[in-house]
Structure 1
Amino acid sequence: MLYIIIPVFNRWRYTRACLDSLRAQTNQDFRVIVVDDGSTDETAAALARAYPEVEVVTGDGNLFWTAGVNRGIERALALGADRVLTLNNDVLTAPDFVAQMLTTAAQRPTAVLGALEFDADTGQAIYGGERLDFRTNTRHDLLDVLPPSQRTGLHPVTYLPGRGLLIPKAVIDKIGLFDEQRLPHYLADFDYTSVARRAGFPVYCNYDAQLSTYPEESGQTLTRKHRSAKGYYQHLFGIRGGGNMVNFTHFALKNCPAPYLPYFLLNGYARRLVGYFLH
């Protein structure tokens, strides 16, 4: 059984739209677990009233993304999950999203799978996976090189984000849960999928499974819209900071091949120090 894990903190309107898109799936062979990390809006009451089929795990407001996902995965495994799928609450799944994921999972039972993402407002494809050259710390976005006619099927990638990420139980059994101690929020998803790939599990972006997101609502985007000294510090060191230097260091030490590590670290630090002002 597939269990879909959705960590949430407030923003009920997004959660409701996400759950409604799951209710509209052509394949209903899944269960949903929402990890409500101490929401102060109507989330708890609305879930109980309008979505009784959803299993709810509650937190005290200090889980953040990684621990929230981990608590959801632990609950899913206790309920008998043989695969889990992490999903952000500000995501809308295409009607055949689950069907496409499960079809591919049946064909590639040990593969970690991500999805092709579109901008919910414009309908434009915005993320189709990437490959990272650790030697030069250079990202290669697959959407930049794949013509529309080739945006189908599976494409191998270096890592994947957690917004629409299918993980077989075999992966969890071998490498454990997400690294909530060193990567409590950002980079935990890229780290986990990179570790899985290095452990021998194929990692693909599944272009046949599609979802829509709101890129302007990401924490990194919102922080950069209102630049300030405080925002700069949060960007570099805050737990939700998209350029968090400590998180990047942990990611690099865990995933970058040793011969390339010095340059990878220096280049990454430089990009984070100036990147806040360039986007």
Structure 2
Amino acid sequence: MLYIIIPVFNRWRYTRECLESLRQQTSQAFRTVVVDDGSTDETAAALARDYPAVEVVTGDGNLFWTAGVNLGIRRALALGATRVLTLNNDVVAAPDFVAQMLAAAAAHPTAVLGALEFDAATGEAIYGGERLDFRTNTRTDLLQELPTGQRTGLHPVTYLPGRGLLIPQAVIEKIGLFDEKRLPHYLADFDYTSVARRAGFPVYCNYAAQLSTYPEESGQTLTRQHRSVKGYYQHLFGIRGGGNMVNFTHFALKNCPGPYLPYFLLNGYARRIVGYFLH
């Protein structure tokens, strides 16, 4: 049984839109767990009133993404999940999203699967997975490689984001849950899927499974909208900082092959130090 895990903190209008897209799925062979991490808006009341079939797990406001997702996964496994799918609340699933994910999972039962993403405002494809060369710390964007007519099927990638990530139970049994201790927010998803790949599980972006996202709502984008000394510090060291140096170090130590590690670290530090001002 597939369980969809959605961590939320406020922003009910996005959560409602996400849940409505799940209601419209052509396949209803799933259940939904929302991890409400201490929302102070109408989230709790609206979930109870409008979505009684949704399993709600609550936190105290200090879970952040990784611990929130782990809490939801533990609940799903206790309820009998054989697959889990992590989904951000600010995404809208195409009507056949679940059906396409389940079809790919049936054909590749040990694979970790991600989705093709589109900008909800423009309809433009914005994320189709990437491959990372640890030797040079350079990334290949699959969307730039593939002509529009070839954006179909499964494509092997180095890692995947957690915005629409299907994980088989076999992966959890072998490598455990997300690393909430060392990666409480950013990079936990890339780390987890990279670890899964190194443990022998295929990692694919499934171009048949499609999501619409709001890229301007990401924490990294919001942090950079109003640049300041405080924002720069948060970028490099805050839990929600997209350039968090400590998180990057943990990711590198866990995933980069030893011979390439010194350059990968130095290059990554330099990118983060200057990247705040370049985007």
TM-score by length of 2: 1.00
Pairs within 5 Å for 1:176-187: 176-187=176-187
| 1:64 matched residue in structure 2 | 64
Once the two structures are TM-superposed, the CA of residue 94 in structure 1 deviates from its matched residue by 0.1
Q: Which amino acid aligns with 1:216?
A: E
| 1:230 matched residue in structure 2 | 230
Q: Which amino acid aligns with 1:73?
A: I
SS in 1 for 2:274: helix
Tell me how far apart the structure 1 counterparts of residues 48 and 216 of structure 2 sit (CA, whole Å). 29
Q: Which amino acid aligns with 1:75?
A: R
| 1:258 matched residue in structure 2 | 258
| 1:81 matched residue in structure 2 | 81
RMSD: 0.3
Once the two structures are TM-superposed, the CA of residue 121 in structure 1 deviates from its matched residue by 0.3
Q: Which amino acid aligns with 1:157?
A: V
Tell me how far apart the structure 1 counterparts of residues 91 and 53 of structure 2 sit (CA, whole Å). 19
Cα displacement string for residues 162-183 of structure 1 (whole angstroms, at most 9, x for unaligned residues): 0000000000000000000000
- Structure 1 runs (4+) deviating above 6 angstroms are none
| 2:198 matched residue in structure 1 | 198
Once the two structures are TM-superposed, the CA of residue 233 in structure 1 deviates from its matched residue by 0.2
| 2:7 matched residue in structure 1 | 7
Tell me how far apart the structure 1 counterparts of residues 104 and 274 of structure 2 sit (CA, whole Å). 40
SS in 2 for 1:277: helix
Cα displacement string for residues 63-114 of structure 1 (whole angstroms, at most 9, x for unaligned residues): 0000000000000000000000000000000000000000110000000000
Tell me how far apart the structure 1 counterparts of residues 179 and 223 of structure 2 sit (CA, whole Å). 24
SS in 2 for 1:266: helix
SS in 1 for 2:126: strand
Pairs within 5 Å for 1:61-140: 61-140=61-140
Could you list the runs of 5+ residues in structure 2 that have no partner in the other structure? Answer: none
Q: Which amino acid aligns with 1:145?
A: E
Cα displacement string for residues 162-206 of structure 1 (whole angstroms, at most 9, x for unaligned residues): 000000000000000000000000000000000000000000000
SS in 1 for 2:57: strand
Tell me how far apart the structure 2 counterparts of residues 192 and 103 of structure 1 sit (CA, whole Å). 23
Pairing 1:278–2:278 present: yes
SS in 2 for 1:276: helix
Tell me how far apart the structure 1 counterparts of residues 221 and 46 of structure 2 sit (CA, whole Å). 28
Tell me how far apart the structure 2 counterparts of residues 100 and 144 of structure 1 sit (CA, whole Å). 23
Tell me how far apart the structure 2 counterparts of residues 78 and 256 of structure 1 sit (CA, whole Å). 34
Once the two structures are TM-superposed, the CA of residue 131 in structure 1 deviates from its matched residue by 0.1
Tell me how far apart the structure 1 counterparts of residues 22 and 220 of structure 2 sit (CA, whole Å). 26
Q: Which amino acid aligns with 1:218?
A: S
Tell me how far apart the structure 2 counterparts of residues 98 and 217 of structure 1 sit (CA, whole Å). 24
Q: Which amino acid aligns with 2:258?
A: A
Tell me how far apart the structure 2 counterparts of residues 122 and 53 of structure 1 sit (CA, whole Å). 32
Once the two structures are TM-superposed, the CA of residue 265 in structure 1 deviates from its matched residue by 0.1
Once the two structures are TM-superposed, the CA of residue 244 in structure 1 deviates from its matched residue by 0.2
| 1:164 matched residue in structure 2 | 164
| 1:207 matched residue in structure 2 | 207
Once the two structures are TM-superposed, the CA of residue 275 in structure 1 deviates from its matched residue by 0.1
Identity of aligned residues (%): 88
Once the two structures are TM-superposed, the CA of residue 16 in structure 1 deviates from its matched residue by 0.2
Tell me how far apart the structure 2 counterparts of residues 139 and 223 of structure 1 sit (CA, whole Å). 23
Tell me how far apart the structure 1 counterparts of residues 171 and 56 of structure 2 sit (CA, whole Å). 24
Tell me how far apart the structure 2 counterparts of residues 141 and 42 of structure 1 sit (CA, whole Å). 39
Tell me how far apart the structure 1 counterparts of residues 123 and 148 of structure 2 sit (CA, whole Å). 14
Aligned residues: 279
Once the two structures are TM-superposed, the CA of residue 149 in structure 1 deviates from its matched residue by 1.1
SS in 2 for 1:223: helix
SS in 2 for 1:177: coil
Q: Which amino acid aligns with 2:171?
A: V
